[in-house]
Amino acid sequence: MDKPASRQRYALAEEQVAFYHQHGYLHLPAVFDADAVAAMAEDLDWLMDAWASKGPGWSGPWRRVYMSADVEKRSQLIALHDLHRYSKAWCDAVVHPSITGAVADLIGANVELHHTTLHAKPPESGHPFPMHQDWAFYKHENGRYVDCLIHLDDTDDRNGCIRFLDASHKGGAREHVVRGADGSPCTPHLPTDAWSLEDTVPVPARRGDVVAFSIHTIHGSRINTTNRLRRIVRAGYRDPANAQTAGQSIGRPGLIVRGRRPRAPRQAALPTTI
Ligand SMILES: O=C(O)CCC(=O)C(=O)O
């Protein structure tokens, strides 16, 4: 199992740590107060206007299983990677001691920020997410990697809250569908005939909450059927000793947000050219 060796606690109660290791996810209410969320939301609105992309979202055969032909044509996703490189409010958010302390309790005392990613679902037909593990997007050697969903809006199934397959992290990394029927590449997802959103647990959350989950936890979400935008920013944190083997931002050293970066025997210092 990927439990940290140390028993020291930074932000979580023992029961919360036990819940995460049992179920593969953990809901952390009110991590950010109203003032902090207001500053993050203000910068997020600016980021969506100035830098984010708006498009059809993830590709692949899953789309026609999750959406009718008509909805599938209209469904869109607003996305942006690495918000903390564009905004001080988001830089502050990803080093917040409650979030980094919680992650340290889950993976160990050294914590490295790997990435941040915005997923905003526009009103009425905002993009659903097929069942997948985030491991398929940024493969790492082991499970000491926690994704944290920072909520800017209240969520439930009507606007596409996150849904987890309970305890699915225990099965480790799984092969994903990466090509459509015609052989062309598509966004990684699990086969729709074997993995269903119907089997998952919804985790509704409030603005300011964080929902943490393992890189191996299988998850997805429904379409946004409401008349309001649904905004979530994912921050990915890892044990700096957990090497990345493929995918998003590979080779890019992240920020150490807790503890230190340990040095392997004869390891060179970090390059200055990435
Ligand atoms: O934003 C969502 O509804 C799902 C996001 C997701 O699947 C992810 O961040 O890996």
Q: Which domain holds residue 86?
A: 14-147+156-241
pLDDT digits (tens, 9 = 90+) for 120-147: 999 999 999 999 999 999 999 999 999 9
CATH (domain of 128): 2.60.120.620
Q: Is 162 in the pocket of ligand 1 (CB under 6 A)?
A: yes
Whether 164 is in the pocket of ligand 1, judged by its Cβ within 6 Å, is no
Q: What average pLDDT score do residues 241-268 get? A: 96
Residue nearest to atom 7 of ligand 1 (CA): 220
CA–centroid distance, 226 to ligand 1, in Å, is 17
In a domain, 249, yes or no: no
How many domains does one find in the chain? 1
> For 17-27, how does the pLDDT look when each residue is reduced to its tens digit (9 = 90+)?
999 999 999 99
CA of 252 to the centre of ligand 1 (A): 22
Q: Does residue 221 lie in a domain region?
A: yes
Cα(261) to centroid(ligand 1), Å: 28
Domain annotation covers residue 79:
yes
Q: How far is the CA of 52 from the centre of ligand 1 (A)?
A: 16
* DSSP conformation letters of the chain: ----S----SS--HHHHHHHHHHSEEEETT-S-HHHHHHHHHHHHHHHHHT-EEE--S-STTHHHHS-HHHHHH--EEEEE-GGGT-HHHHHHHT-HHHHHHHHHHH-S-EEEEEEEEEEE-TTTBPPEEEE-GGGTEEESSS-EEEEEEESS-B-GGGT-EEE-TTGGGG-----EEE-TTS-EEEEE--TTT--GGGSEE--B-TT-EEEEETT--EEE--B-SSS-EEEEEEEEE-TTS-EEEETTTT---EEEES--PPPTTPPPPPS--
Q: For the segment 146-203, what is each residue's pLDDT rounded down to a tens digit? A: 999 999 999 999 999 999 999 999 999 999 999 998 999 999 999 999 999 999 999 9
Expressed in angstroms and rounded, the spacing between residue 133 Cα and the centre of ligand 1 is 10
Whole-number pLDDT of residue 4:
53
For atom 10 of ligand 1, which residue has the closest CA? 134
Does the residue 172 lie in any domain? yes
In a domain, 226, yes or no: yes
Q: Residue 5 has what pLDDT?
A: 53
Please report whether residue 187 resides in a domain. Answer: yes
Q: What is the pLDDT of residues 162-173, one digit of tens each?
A: 999 999 999 999
